[in-house]
Amino acid sequence: MLNDSDFDSRQTKATSALSDSVHDENLWANLKIGNELAFSMLYKRYVNRLFNYGMHSCKDRDLVKDCLQELFARLWAKRETLGVAGSVNYYLFKSFRRLLIAKLIANRKFSLPFRGEPTSVFEFIPPTEDSIMEDEAKSHQLAMLKNSINSLTKRQREAIFLKFFNDLSYHEISSIMELRVDSVYNLISKSIDVLRVKLKGSVIFMVLFCLFPG
Amino acid sequence: MDENFRAWVWNPTDESNQFWRSWIANHPDKTDEVYEAISLLNKLSFPNYRLTEEETSSLWHDIRNFSQSKKKVVSDKSSSFGWWLGAAAGVILATVSSLLIWNHDNTISYETAYGETRTLLLPDSSTVILNANSRIVLSDDWNKNATRKVWLAGEAFFEVVHTRNHQPFQVKVGDGLAVEVLGTSFNVYHRESDTKVVLNSGKITLTYPEAKEEKKIVMKPGELVEYKEDRIVKREVDPTMYASWTENKIILNQTSLLEMIRMAKDNYGVEIEVASEKMLTQTVSGSMPTGNAENFANQIARVFQLQIIRENNKILLHE
């Protein structure tokens, strides 16, 4: 059943995936005074989280890597003038998304003229078959779960991704996605409704229901 | 179950582990449900795209090159520490970059060349002054609960910041000796098979292997511990003498010529020979400035009142 090694293995997994904000601030302060070590640690801590985020919106590996290079190079070049705009997590996600959108628009100029909202180039693409792990697909409930994530809109998916997988607040998400805060609340509560219907009767429904009441 | 549950599953801390373990213990009927919920929550995720290890380091390399090409700063050449510590902090930080090495095994290292010292700021705000011809390695992932670990080859002076959660700081050297502290200042010397630790302030614990067992000793300020050939020797010293190199000078207190020659080799890579073996036991007291490789040998000759002969890159001292 539940033994200590279960806890410990999850602990390791979680600490490497989710960073501790106090420590982030410390790294940030040290980055600002030119500490290379702090800079490299921030890079190491965030590069894969941002990469993952970028890859969900465009499957162009090289483009996402270009944006990461520019993001971190700028961060170092401008370290002395960096502000303390909320959490480091938020700052990086927001700046990265902006860069990615600028690059996506620039790329389109060479093919079709671009019309509409700049942010509409940033789309949260549903996970493809090959990206679902085999053992996960075996489980009926997980198939349902995958199905339900795919039934969300792009914006709902992005909001859920930022809120529950990257620990960003409603306010931060509203700034990142350039939406009003109440729209973010709506997006997330609608997403939870969708998940609730899709997952009715499963254990996961019970968990989600308890987690996000109302 | 509430939001804390999700937070615990996705981002467990010592505190939440403790809370949920006792909750589960008190609700044995719910154990199956909890276990299933945990396993599902752990799998409720978007596909995880990751960079390969090679991509991660080559991207880092590009970032460093990119930002360096934009920098109009001084050369990255090493220099003697004569003017080094007096230089502005900005210059020190700007030039440090060339020495930051990102290893493939998730560690970061700094190296100094002969005749060069560097002041490093660690991510926890602790400082390390790395003496010449030394190398320090640390893991690139210091998280808030783990021991802050560094590995040292050469010599360094540490000023360790005490963290709010009393996170230990550990310096390891090649032969199994480890210095563990919470916050204090001390000097560690480790070259070849000789290790010396001198404590300036605070309290440190040394662990070392002896006959395949781990032994511990606690040091007080003003103590020097030498670890050589699996043996520990402890004595009282003036700790400022051992840290004087951080201020560009060497304090000599009954210091032998043998020791000075060893220092020339350690810090400058300079081999000095003597005309006769018996000269090596001569001692002097006083202080002398450190300098570059060239004048360090001259300084030695001066304080010991010896003649210096240079021939084909060889330095010979005679009476």
Which has more pLDDT, A138 or B128?
A: B128
Please enumerate in sequence order all residues whose Cβ is within 8 A of that of B76, keeping only pairs 6 or more positions apart, or say none. B95, B97, B98
pLDDT value of residue A14: 33
Decide which of B198, B218, B241 is a domain's last residue. Answer: B241
Q: Which of B47, B50, B106 sits opposite A127 (nearest CB)?
A: B47
Distance between B99 CA and the closest CA of chain A, angstroms: 10
- Rounded to the nearest integer, the mean pLDDT of chain B is 76
Placement of tokens 């440090």 in the chain: B96
For all residues of chain A together, what is the average pLDDT? 71
Distance from CA of A113 to the nearest CA of B (A): 30
Output the furthest CA–CA distance in chain A (Å, rounded).
Answer: 59
Span of B28-37, B216-225, B306-315 with lowest mean pLDDT: B28-37
CATH at residue B288: 3.55.50.30
Q: How confident is the model at residue A95 (pLDDT cuts 50, 70, 90)?
A: very high
Indicate the SS3 state at residue B290.
coil
- Tell me which chain A residues have a C-beta less than 8 angstroms from the C-beta of B148: none
Contacts of A141 in chain B (CB under 8 A): 40
Cα Rg of chain A, angstroms: 19
CATH no. for residue B115?
2.60.120.1440
What's the CA gap between A108 and A100, in Å, rounded?
12
Which of A5-19, B116-130, B171-185 has maximum average pLDDT?
A: B171-185
Weakest-pLDDT range from A188-192, B139-143, B162-166, B301-305: B139-143
Q: Does B39 touch chain A (CB under 8 A)?
A: no
User: Chain A neighbours among B 130-149 (CB < 8 Å)?
Assistant: 138, 140-145
Looking up tokens 């809109």 gives: A153
What does the block give as tokens for B196?
């010396």
Q: Is the pLDDT of residue A11 over 90?
A: no
- Judged by a CB distance cut-off of 8 A, whether residue A101 touches chain B is no
pLDDT given at position B68:
52
Contact between B49 and A77 using a beta-carbon 8 Å cutoff:
no
Q: Are residues B94 and B123 in the same domain?
A: yes
Q: Are residues B211 and B285 in the same domain?
A: no
Compare all CA atoms of chain B with the CA of A43 and give the residue at the minimum distance.
Answer: B60
Count how many domains chain B has: 3
* Residue-level pLDDT at A174: 92
Asked whether residue B56 is domain-assigned, the answer is no
Tokens 């350039």 — which residue? A178
Residue B274 one-letter amino acid: V
Q: Is the pLDDT of residue B113 over 60?
A: yes
Q: B298 and B254: one domain?
A: yes
Q: Establish if B45 touches chain A: CB-CB under 8 angstroms.
A: yes
B135 and B22 housed in the same domain: no
Same domain, B149 and B75: yes
Give chain A positions within 8 Å (CB) of B141: 16, 41, 44-45
Q: In this structure, how many other beta carbons lie within 10 angstroms of the beta carbon of residue A106?
A: 10
B131 against A86, higher pLDDT = B131
Q: What is A20-121's CATH number?
A: 1.10.1740.10
Assigned token pair, B267: 């810090």
Does any domain span residue B65?
no
- Does a structural domain hold residue B62? no
* CA–CA gap between residue A54 and residue A165 (Å, rounded): 14
The complex's ipTM works out to: 0.71
- Do B143 and A47 count as a contact with CB atoms less than 8 A apart? no
Confidence tier at B45 by pLDDT (50, 70, 90): low
Same-domain status, B218 and B255: no
Residue A193's pLDDT is: 76
Q: Say which of A1, A37, A47 has its CB closest to residue B51.
A: A47
Domain of residue B151 covers 70-241
Selected residue with higher pLDDT from B224 and B120: B224
Return the H-helix or E-strand segment holding A150: helix A140-150
Rounded to a whole number of angstroms, the distance from the CA of A89 to the nearest CA of chain B is: 15
Q: Which CATH number fits domain A129-211: 1.10.150.110, 1.10.10.10, 2.60.40.10, 3.40.50.1980?
A: 1.10.10.10
Strand pairing report for B148-159 and B169-173: parallel
> Do B260 and B164 reside in the same domain of the chain?
no
Query: pLDDT by residue (tens digit) across B176-226?
Result: 789 998 888 898 999 887 899 999 988 899 998 877 788 899 999 999 999
Asked whether residue A96 carries a pLDDT value surpassing 90, the answer given is yes
Residue B67 pLDDT: 55
* Residue A16's pLDDT band (cuts 50, 70, 90): very low
Are B90 and B123 contained in the same domain? yes
Chain B residues whose CB is inside 8 A of the A132 CB are 47
Reported as a single tens digit per residue, the pLDDT across A153-187 is 888 888 888 887 777 888 999 999 989 999 998 88
Query: B192 touching A, CB under 8 A?
Result: no
Q: Would you say B78 and B116 are in contact if contact means Cβ atoms under 8 Å apart?
A: yes
Chain B interface mutation, best of A36, A192, A204, highest count of B Cβ atoms under 10 Å = A36
Q: Name chain A contacts of B40, Cβ cutoff 8 Å.
A: 141-142, 145, 203-204, 207
Cross-chain Cβ contact B125/A131 below 8 Å: no
Angle at B134 between CA B132 and CA B135, to 5 degrees: 145
**pLDDT, tens only, A71-91:** 999 998 888 888 766 788 889
**How many whole angstroms separate alpha carbon B74 and alpha carbon B89?**
13
Is residue B235 very low, low, confident or very high in pLDDT (cuts 50, 70, 90)? very high
Which residues in A lie closer than 8 A to residue B44 (C-beta atoms)? 145, 204
Determine contact, residues B271/B315, Cβ cutoff 8 Å: yes
Pick the closest to residue A201 from A140, A146, A156 (CA basis). Answer: A140
pLDDT in tens, A100-155: 988 888 876 555 444 455 555 566 665 554 444 444 444 565 566 666 677 788 88
B-chain residues near A157 (CB < 8 A): 46
pLDDT in tens, B75-87: 333 333 333 333 3
Same domain, B122 and B215: yes
